Chains A and B, each alone.
Chain A
Amino acid sequence: MQQSEIIVVGGGLVGAAIAYGAARAGAAVTLLDQGDIAHRASRGNFGLVWVQSKGAGFPRYARWSRDAVAYWPELAKELLDLTGVDVALENAGGFWIGFSDAEVQARGAMLAKISDAIGGVPYEMLDHRELKARLPAIGPKVAGGSFCPLDGHANPLKLLHALHAGLMARGSRIVSSVDIATVARRGDRREFEAISTDGRRWRAARIVLAAGLSNRELAPQVGLHAPVSPNRGQVLITERLKPFLPYPTNKARQTHEGTVQLGSSVEDVGLDDGTTVPAIESLARRAIATFPVLSSARLVRAWGALRVMTPDGAPIYQESSSHPGAFVATSHSGVSLAAAHAYALGPWMAGFAKEPEDFAEFAGERYLDPARSFSNAH
């Protein structure tokens, strides 16, 4: 039986960032993590730090994304100074690539709509020639694209490591290999208890559920609704290559080490994180259509990972009204939103700051509205 001010259930990118932000604000934090046995959606994150196209039809989410990315450099520097871990942030802009004029036009319309709705997300639409001037390796099948100067990419695994190291540097406790099955309020005391499948218990005045797919079962235990489901993405990774791609694109980026990451599928296959030959071959074809030079690049590894997906693809952030002090947090954009999770959610959920503005829009009950329909198209 262990006491602390705030428990965060789930040590992936979302949970670790919130926990870090809470610790930074002064809370005594205990992070409970499944460790190596977890599905670990974080390891499947593509690594984009992305603004363009986020929140189409959901202006609050678009604003949240833009603000989160604006604070990313500060978070990266802070983590480097505190832990020595360089999360390899590059944020000189990013490209979306389109293969038909219709696709490019639709893209332009969507980006205009987002920008109008929230008052300015800078972007440029480019035709093939203009795109080729910026990305010389683009192939002839590319029709055009969009560029946003706010976009970038980072290393998701290093970010996870840095957040964990940052938590330890700030005196927080991380407990690994823990599988939380039950969360409950203790009697009429404003205290919550998390109980693991092997019977260990932790208590605190506040609790944050950031347990990825497990949030589905945990959230209702504190009066919250988090209808998340697994969505598989398959990704290819090449050998290290000499630098040829200076900016990330939505489906291909060259990492800091020189490997090229190519993605990704969107599949509804339950909890299967395996790979399939048709997807691997399809991703390879798309990669070569985008950058023909990649034809002679060697594929070293293909992997699948399970995104934690909500019905509309947007986050759920909510304090329970029936169980004040209990929160749920889920998003599949754990890299892009990391700074917002750390600097806004952490302090709020730990009781050091107010709930961010207009946050009712991120409540889980929105999915229960019969008048609305949802799509989490990527």
Chain B
Amino acid sequence: MHTETADRQAALFASEEAIGPNTVRIQFEDRTLCVREGTTVAAALLLNGAGPLRTTPVKSTPRAPYCMMGVCFECLVSVDGKPSRQACLTTVRDGMVIKRQHGASALDLSDEGDRHGL
């Protein structure tokens, strides 16, 4: 996997499958990751040594995926500006921008006033 090194931890998992021709490029923080099509965001991040995906709203404790099936809600990340997305239930898409979630969800306050057609 071709990645730009930034705050990288040793990846806990590696895939035995070649990425193959159908790759997807996603942004995670300041890194660009090349990932096999059809991978979940959580798997992609674990395969690339992302470390913790968020810090908790209560005590800012670092958390990472636990159940990989949408039950534990630990893998919450911001996906394309939308907060609190479960990374294990989100499939990677070319150009996707993923960021860690620090504490509670941040609403995009610059957005207000642009709503229409409700």
Contact = CB atoms under 8 A, between A and B. Distances in A.
A240 B111 contact: no
A288 B118 contact: yes
A269 B111 CA distance: 39
A295 B106 CA distance: 12
A297 B112 CA distance: 13
Nearest to A258: B104
Nearest to A132: B113
A260 B84 CA distance: 15
B83 interface: yes
Interface in B94-118: 103-109, 111-115, 118
Contact of B112 (A240, A258, A293): A293
Contact of A291 (B82, B104, B112): B112
Contacts of A297: 105, 107
B57 interface: yes
Interface majority SS on B: helix, strand, loop or mixed? Answer: loop
Contact of B107 (A139, A141, A257, A294): A294
A281 B28 CA distance: 34
Interface residues of B, number: 17
A242 interface: yes
Contacts of A258: 57, 104
A376 interface: no
Contacts of B115: 139-140, 288, 292, 295
A285 B109 contact: no
Contacts of A285: 118
Contact of B111 (A136, A241, A242, A293): A293
B109 A141 contact: no
B107 to A, nearest CB: 4
Given A239-B84, A240-B57, A139 B105 contact: no
Contact of B109 (A136, A140, A257, A288): A136
Given A240-B57, A258-B57, A298-B84, A292 B113 contact: yes
Contact of A239 (B104, B112, B113): B104
Contacts of B118: 141, 285, 288-289
A293 B104 contact: no
A171 B70 CA distance: 47
A296 interface: yes
A241 B57 CA distance: 9
A354 B33 CA distance: 75
A370 B57 CA distance: 56
Given A285-B118, A288-B118, A242 B104 contact: yes
Contacts of B106: 241-242
B105 A240 contact: yes
A82 interface: no
Contacts of A289: 118
Given A242-B106, A293-B109, 11 more contacts: A136-B109, A137-B112, A140-B115, A239-B105, A240-B57, A244-B107, A285-B118, A292-B115, A293-B112, A296-B82, A296-B108
10 contacts: A139-B112, A241-B107, A244-B107, A258-B57, A288-B115, A292-B115, A293-B112, A296-B105, A296-B111, A298-B84
Enumerate the 3 nearest inter-chain pairs by beta-carbon distance, A residue then B residue, closest first. A292-B115, A240-B104, A293-B107
